[in-house]
Amino acid sequence: MSSAYLVLENGRVFGGESLGLAADAGGVLGEVVFTTGMTGYLETLTDPSYYGQIVVQTWPLIGNYGVIRPDFESSSPWPRGYVLRECCGSPSNFRSEGPLGSLLAEQGVVGLCGIDTRALTRIIRERGVMNGVITSDPENVDFDLLRGYAIRDAVAGVSTREVFVVNPDVTEGRGYHIVLWDFGAKANIARSLAARGCRVTVVPHSYTAEQILKLAPDGVMLCNGPGDPEENTGIIAELKKFTESMIPVFGICLGHQILALAMGASTEKMKYGHRGANQPVRDTKTGSISITTQNHGYSVTPDSIPGNALLRYVNANDGTCEGIDYKDIPAFSVQFHPEASAGPLDTSFLFDRFIGMMEAG
């Protein structure tokens, strides 16, 4: 392995070894974020919500069960860079198709291993999310370029280009037709709906309310995705039109934020976000606590939620908004991932709640 370095915009340098595609002198820039999952590294790598980011795994050993393509959340990895303490080169699992390092090299992902990820995570927690570059030449980093890096047009970068159908054999009268508005969807969202007998039509982010209505859906799913939610002005405007149809809507992650913006709320960037499979969420209606999978760097500002909506879920650690129920339209949304993948299945019942809304007409 060759030497490689992570240089943060505050000047801190972490030296280690290249993993996957070797870094060159120019390096690869990204927003440095950390995720706390002990497992689920394949789902993390293939989650489109990590578009434009350098992902740090806090768990010290990653790759021990190798590469398992059926567990992917999309066809390929999305992070610009991947940072580990230690990568297992000899995975042990009957489903494994090979080591993680080989996948990263094959897919052109620049990786770095052998650094103190706990120290790095502490810096991000104290200083907040910042930009970084993985490079082979830490002495010649362009800090103006590094500090000026920003994730732009993220949803357009990850959304499907073509319409396709999941579970197409469901016939009229046997199941509901869901349109999944693709902002960077994890595959398990469509799988979770298909498992409940739904036919899921996945459409690009650029679809209009009129185009979606022509598909005659029983419900619409607003999925996860990357970037600043407020950047998606066109989607927000079309969603506002669509909600007038009174067709049931379920929003997850970025979809939750975009629905809130369409209804008049605002969003804000968090200091370092929530990423991992161990976030506790409290239901304000029942008081119950669920452990959830999350991946987001923005949140809906609680004080901005309109009067025709209920702050249904809050994060038990920091009190941030985790879910909203709307009173005047058949819609609800959550910041966390009820499809888990990877993570706890505590909140998978929310898909059944969505089905129930459609059954109620």
Catalytic residues: 253, 337, 339
Listing DSSP states for 21-42 in one string gives BPP-SS-EEEEEEEE--SS-HH
CA 207 to chain CA centroid, nearest Å = 21
Q: Please name every residue paired with 57 in a beta bridge, in sequence order, or none if there are none.
A: 35
Provide CB contacts within 8 A for 12, sequence distance 6+.
123
Cα within 13 Å of Cα(261), Cβ side: 23
CA 230 to chain CA centroid, nearest Å = 16
Q: Does residue 22 contact residue 116 with C-beta atoms inside 8 Å?
A: no
Token pair listed for 189: 């969202």
Q: Using DSSP, state whether 178 is helix, strand or coil.
A: strand
Q: Using DSSP, state whether 223 is helix, strand or coil.
A: coil
Q: Does residue 298 contact residue 257 with C-beta atoms inside 8 Å?
A: yes
Q: Using DSSP, state whether 187 is helix, strand or coil.
A: helix
Number of H helices, E strands in the chain: 10, 19
Q: How far apart, in whole angstroms, are the C-alpha atoms of residue 142 and residue 152?
A: 20
Residue 75 has phi, psi (to 5 degrees) of -75, -20
